[in-house]
């Protein structure tokens, strides 16, 4: 499979930088898992669609619910048994009964711990299977979306939805869901148990509930704002770091290290201030909760003593209600802490489902035939196209490329040259007119069969973090090692590959960063050689190469072009001297066409002026010599 171009030169970009979303934090807000708080627009809609994914594991969810209920019941049984121990066995001196009840309590607390572990283990499996399915469906959908979607959305934003948003959902499901259910059940069971044991003391125990609610509301509001400001400051700091590391050669060459340090210190200080404020409010929850809890204990003990003296309670009941009072505040705080995280997860789920709701690339007709063996006869018949409705990019474009011909597309940036490639590959479909390959309208054949007949060599070479051998083999996954190496020899890449420390087994860094631009281009050519397509597209394949390196690449391209229909887009006009047709594109129209010589002979013509300004006025002596050598290689081919 050859490389695929992802966007046209004339396509709307609309790219914006998305700041990193990870960061430190604390309880009571987004910092619980380092996520900024964002409320979903339609929480119930997102929850319902997440429920569809969870519904596939409904039996395990039922088991989770039973275990959580059992755990809450066991937690509520502990304080009750404490009171029973005091009233029936301690105060009466029943040592045998005390031993028996102590063993029962040990069994209850042990069972509670096992139930909690089992719940966490089951929920981890459920959450990971759920997000696995969610991530799989999202990634599958990304493969089906048209290039138009990627042109209109920043890549960082798309990746954030696939990673950060799904990660947030995963953590809420694995940790938050069981905690939320447990908190709600514990609150219900403890309240009912207290009312059944002693309704007077139950009412006394609930006296601190309004204080807890007010504190939770106060802290969560401020931590939400505080962590939002912290995330914004962290994004600014990360942007400064990224920009500084990328621009380090420029910074050093201009001796601007002090300015870079000052910029970093300013952003770092802003983050420190925002983080201090956020953490201060976040850390307020613990001490204040303890204070309110201790006030509640004092109230329970004092009121319990008075009720005991009045005959409405027992000493054991006081002990039980002291434990219940501690248990009662914990679920409220837990629910408050989980609120923001659940909101963020639902907002993330909305963003994930927004991608899933996008219209995919139109499917082929059920009876669409494969393109079959390709001769390479390509016709553009009065083609019109626009990326944005009402803003034409190509207007009435017509030309005929016969099998084996090389068609060169030249013109200023944004004229529509790469759009021609996008239409031929069906990354976009024409608005008017038709494109035919071997007399077949490309909209009426299977899209995959069309693309298999095409081979692309791009200006920005796409290489994977794998070995050189596997990067070339991407052109044909069934190729043998010998076939891969033969393709590299044809592409003039074998020599430099064998000089690398590990030869064909050399592992490439991301994007092939451990190779030069010229070496990356030779690997791209080798990949297309292996794919053996009948139609070639060279989109600015040598624009980023120095003129001497271009000579070696030209030799490889000449071998690649032999016997194939080719479309060549190039700013360096030396690469198209021997093209069968030169199409001069300007403002979405073909304004001139002919051979290099015929167009050059048209004095004051568009191509003539472009050639003269580029090669007679813009090059130095050394570049001219390299250019002439390149032209000799071309003519020899």
Domain 461-532 grouped into CATH 3.40.50.300:
yes
* CA 463, 465, 466, 468 torsion-angle sign: positive
Q: With 0-12 CB in 10 A as exposed, 13-18 as middle and 19+ as buried, what is 536?
A: buried
- Copy the structure tokens of residue 462: 């796409």
pLDDT reading at 587 higher than 80? yes
Q: How confident is the model at residue 183 (pLDDT cuts 50, 70, 90)?
A: confident
Q: Strands 406-410 and 581-586: what pairing?
A: parallel
Whether residue 164 contacts residue 33, with contact meaning beta carbons closer than 8 Å, is answered with no
Q: At 575, is the pLDDT very low, low, confident or very high (cuts 50, 70, 90)?
A: low
pTM beyond cutoff 0.85 = no
Tokens of 109: 């607390």
Gap between the Cα atoms of 202 and 200, Å rounded: 5
548: Cβ contacts below 8 Å, ≥ 6 apart: 626, 629
Q: What is the pLDDT of residue 8?
A: 36
Q: In b/e form, how buried is each residue of 91-127, taking b as 16+ CB within 10 angstroms?
A: eeeeeeebeebeeebeebeeebeebbeebbebbeebb
CA distances from 329 to 209, 373, 621, 637 (A): 8, 74, 83, 84
CATH number of 378-453+534-636: 3.40.50.300
- The burial class, CB within 10 Å (0-12 / 13-18 / 19+), for 541 is buried
**Confidence tier at 434 by pLDDT (50, 70, 90):** very high
Closest CA to 615 of 603, 628, 633: 628
Write down the H helix ranges in 412-564: 417-424, 447-452, 468-473, 481-490, 494-498, 517-531, 547-561
Q: Is the pLDDT of residue 216 over 80?
A: no
Let me know if domain 37-197+345-357 sits in CATH 3.20.20.70. no
pLDDT at residue 40, rounded to an integer: 60
Q: What percent of the chain has pLDDT over 90?
A: 21
CA distances from 482 to 178, 472, 473, 504 (A): 56, 12, 11, 11
Band (pLDDT 50/70/90 cuts) for residue 172 is confident
Residue in the structure block whose two tokens are 């991608």 = 355
- Quick one: which of 445, 490, 455, 459 has its CA closest to 476? 455
**pLDDT mean over 268-275:** 89
In sequence order, the 6+-apart residues with CB closer than 8 A to the CB of 403 are: 375, 376, 377, 565
Which residue's entry shows tokens 């002990």? Answer: 319
pLDDT of residue 18: 35
* DSSP code at position 544: T
pLDDT at 440: 93
pLDDT at 35 over 90: no
Supply angle C-alpha 140, 144, 146, rounded to 5: 145
| pLDDT for res 116 | 86
Measuring CA to CA, which residue among 456, 449, 561, 381 is closest to residue 7? Answer: 456
Q: Is 360 exposed, middle or buried (0-12, 13-18, 19+ CB in 10 A)?
A: middle
pLDDT tens-digit map of 11-30 = 333 333 333 333 333 333 33
The model's pLDDT over 402-428, given as tens digits with 9 standing for 90+, comes to 999 999 998 888 888 889 988 999 989
In the predicted structure, residue 34 carries a pLDDT above the cut 90: no
Distance CA 216, CA 284 (A): 10
Residue 556, by phi and psi: left (phi above 0), alpha (psi -120 to 50) or beta?
alpha
Compute the distance between CA of residue 602 and CA of residue 56 in angstroms, rounded to an integer.
70
Single out the residue of 563, 470, 547, 482 nearest to residue 508, CA to CA.
470
Euclidean distance between the first and the last CA atom of the chain, given in angstroms as a whole number = 26
The pLDDT tens digits for 550-561 are 676 777 777 778
Q: How far apart are CA 345 and CA 39, in angstroms?
A: 9
Describe the strand order of the beta sheet including 440-441 as a list of residue ranges: 394-401, 378-385, 432-437, 440-441
Mean pLDDT is highest, among 214-218, 486-490, 540-544, 570-574, for: 486-490
Q: What is the pLDDT of residue 378?
A: 95
pLDDT at 467: 93
Pick 204 or 140 by higher pLDDT.
140
Tokens of 199: 């309704």
Q: What is the dihedral of CA 397, 399, 403, 404, to 10 degrees?
A: -90
Find the range with the poorest average confidence among 16-30, 92-106, 141-155, 184-198: 16-30
Mean residue pLDDT of the chain comes to 80
Strands (E), 248-300: none
Region 554-574 average pLDDT: 78
Q: Per mean pLDDT, which range of 23-37, 513-527, 578-592 is the poorest?
A: 23-37
Distances in whole angstroms, Cα of residue 421 to Cα of each of 19, 538, 540, 596: 33, 9, 12, 21
- pLDDT given at position 511: 74
Residue written as token pair 């890549």: 155
């Amino acid at each position: 499979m050859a490389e695929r171009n992802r966007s046209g030169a004339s396509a709307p970009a609309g790219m914006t930088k998305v700041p990193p979303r990870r960061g430190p934090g604390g309880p009571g807000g987004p910092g619980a898992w380092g996520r900024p708080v964002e409320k979903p627009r339609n929480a119930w809609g997102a929850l319902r669609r997440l429920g569809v994914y969870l519904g596939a594991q409904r039996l395990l969810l039922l088991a989770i619910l039973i275990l959580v209920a059992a755990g809450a019941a066991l937690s509520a049984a502990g304080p009750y048994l404490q009171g029973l121990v005091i009233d029936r066995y301690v105060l009466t001196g029943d040592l045998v009964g005390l031993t028996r009840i102590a063993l029962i309590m040990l069994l209850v607390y042990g069972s509670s711990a096992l139930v909690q572990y089992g719940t966490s283990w089951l929920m981890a499996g459920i959450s990971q299977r759920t997000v696995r399915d969610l991530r799989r469906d999202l990634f599958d959908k990304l493969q089906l979306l048209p290039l138009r979607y990627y042109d209109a959305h920043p890549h960082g934003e798309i990746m954030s939805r696939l990673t950060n948003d799904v990660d947030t959902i995963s953590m809420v499901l694995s940790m938050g869901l069981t905690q939320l259910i447990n908190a709600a059940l514990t609150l219900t069971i403890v309240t009912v148990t207290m009312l059944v044991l002693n309704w007077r003391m139950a009412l006394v125990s609930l006296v601190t509930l309004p204080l807890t609610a007010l504190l939770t509301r106060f802290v969560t509001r401020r931590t939400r704002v505080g962590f939002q400001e912290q995330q914004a400051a962290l994004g600014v700091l990360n942007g400064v770091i990224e920009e500084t590391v990328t621009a380090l050669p420029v910074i050093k060459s201009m001796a601007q290290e002090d300015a870079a340090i000052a910029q970093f210190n300013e952003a770092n200080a802003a983050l420190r201030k925002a983080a201090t404020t956020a953490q201060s409010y976040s850390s307020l929850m613990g001490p204040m909760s303890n204070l309110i809890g201790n006030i509640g204990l004092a109230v329970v003990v004092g009121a319990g003593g008075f009720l005991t003296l009045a005959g409405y309670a027992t000493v054991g009941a006081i002990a039980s209600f002291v434990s219940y009072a501690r248990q009662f505040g914990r679920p409220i705080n837990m629910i408050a802490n989980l609120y923001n995280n659940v909101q963020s997860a639902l907002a993330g789920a909305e963003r994930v489902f927004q991608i899933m709701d996008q219209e995919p690339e139109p499917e082929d007709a059920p009876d669409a035939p494969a393109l079959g063996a390709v001769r390479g006869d390509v016709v553009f018949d009065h083609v019109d196209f626009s990326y944005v409705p009402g803003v034409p990019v190509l207007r009435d474009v017509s030309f005929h490329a016969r099998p084996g011909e090389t068609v060169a597309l030249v013109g200023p940036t944004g004229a529509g040259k790469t759009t021609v490639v996008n239409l031929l590959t069906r990354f976009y479909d024409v608005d008017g007119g038709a494109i035919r390959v071997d007399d077949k309208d490309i909209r009426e054949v299977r899209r995959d069969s069309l693309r298999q007949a095409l081979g692309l060599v791009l200006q920005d070479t796409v290489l994977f973090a794998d070995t050189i051998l596997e990067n070339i083999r991407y052109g044909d996954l069934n190729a043998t090692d010998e076939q891969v190496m033969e393709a590299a020899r044809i592409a003039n890449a074998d020599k430099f590959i064998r000089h690398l420390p590990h030869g064909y087994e050399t592992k490439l860094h991301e994007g092939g960063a451990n190779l030069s631009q010229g070496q990356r281009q030779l690997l791209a050519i080798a990949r297309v050689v292996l794919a053996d397509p009948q139609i070639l597209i060279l989109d600015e394949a040598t624009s980023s190469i120095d003129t001497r390196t271009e000579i070696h690449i030209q030799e490889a391209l000449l071998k690649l072009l032999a016997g194939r229909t080719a479309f060549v887009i190039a700013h360096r006009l030396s690469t198209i001297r021997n093209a069968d047709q030169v199409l001069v594109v300007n403002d979405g129209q073909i304004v001139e066409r002919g051979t290099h010589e015929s167009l050059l002979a048209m004095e004051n013509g568009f191509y003539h002026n472009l050639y003269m300004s580029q090669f007679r006025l813009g090059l130095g002596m050394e570049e001219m010599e390299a250019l002439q050598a390149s032209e000799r290689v071309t003519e020899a081919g």
